A and B are shown apart, each in its own frame.
Chain A
Amino acid sequence: MKYLVSLFLLLSMTWLLWSGIWEALTLTLGLVSCIAIVAFVRRMGVVDEEGALVEFALRPVLYIPWLLWEILKANVDVALLILSPTLHISPRVIRVKAGQRTGLGLVVHANSITLTPGTVSIDIEGDTIVIHALTRESAQGVESGVMDRKVTALEGRH
């Protein structure tokens, strides 16, 4: 029930933000489609914390700025590397243990690694993420496990 309500609120918010037309007809259409979607989702039995994001939606407030800052730093590093005449790279494949307990957390972790230039997650084997790193420094950045801890903290208690 909690998930259904939060899904409904999320859908209504999305409708209002994206339509921006405050007329009776549009608002009614929006309301009808939100209720219909919640009803469909309930019938399909796919309502869970991943669909509604009720707990996950508030914690990224701190994570996203940190991730953006990491992306900025890594971007400058890799851009300078690409423009340097010697192109001093040392590509390597590393494996990092991921401490996340949920599939969604693992996806956030793997995608965050890929978003940071210099590291691309190429495979997931159980709880281990296989990463292709462009340089030794970028590999060390992932191996330090800071991102792993931050994403695990995002998951909270389940």
Chain B
Amino acid sequence: MPHGAPLELTGVTVTYGPYDAVRDLDLRANAGEVLCVLGPSGCGKSTLLRAVAGLEPSRTGTIRLDDRQLDGLRPDQRDVGLMFQDHALFPHRTVADNVAFGPRMRGLDRRSVADRVDDALRLVDLTDLAGRRITELSGGEQQRVALARAVAPRPKLLMLDEPLGSLDRALQARLLDDLTRVFSELGTTVLHVTHDQQEALAVADRVAVMRAGRVEQLGSPDELWRGPRTAFVARFLGLEHVVRLTVRDGVADSPWGPLAVPGTRDGDHDVVLLPEALRVIDAGEPRRDDELAVTGRIVGRRFAGDHLRVTVDPGTGPTLTVPVWRGSVPEPGSDLELALDPQAARILEPETTTRSTR
């Protein structure tokens, strides 16, 4: 299998109708890396893929794949693969004919085309369905055919637009595993677009959180999770506790006690509590001395499968939500004692983007 090529976007702007869907965007995916673009619908992430594929013209900037500048090239000259949202499979062709389309367009002889189809179908474990009509396939099978079709020409860059979007939850989880396996087997550079933060964190080497046509933050899943740069990134990753606090001498004055935010200039700041900041105190794990004690009344309970998400109103300040993994099920109305790690708070940069997302 061929190795991927680095992709580099510099100052790319794409106008879509009356909007700049992508605005002055810089992004680099390293060779063989899985880069996830994460953002809400309408943030320009699909337009970004279409621009790299050559389906939308970029108004400014340059797009380079390997050492080749792609700007001005037609889609069929770019040597990229794109898996469309909802797949866009050719309904008048069989599974094998869909997969064979790319290799055929590249002028391969019949034997090589057949080999490529076999390889691609084996990769997604669909060899048995080669002769089927597209309309006879389930959603999950269609998704795998779409993936096989995109990889069959062995593009230097593979792009996926919401590949799991139209599938149900159970199928998503299974196909997520398939995707990660296929990515590592192919070794190609992957640009994966999604609005689902779990999907992004699961498959990506690095994640670019996109908002209103720009990259708001770029980093590994771990970096993002431990250090979201803005409130938008924090909320989009599912971090619920963002509060506005006053900081003096490296200490934030919170309703629950002083939080350590060293190196921060004095003034009002948005602060996020990282997920590990809060835990329920029980007999097995008493509160450490450096932790703050927060006691509040339980006001909400949400079943989340293997744990409960319990919402507590501490009386002062906003409510706090913590996972409860075991032990007795806390009743709404009763009190719950929490420990808050004052080291697990992060200062967020003020929001610079004034334009709202579409």
Is B one of A's binding partners?
no
Residue ranges of A at the interface with B (Cβ–Cβ < 8 Å): none
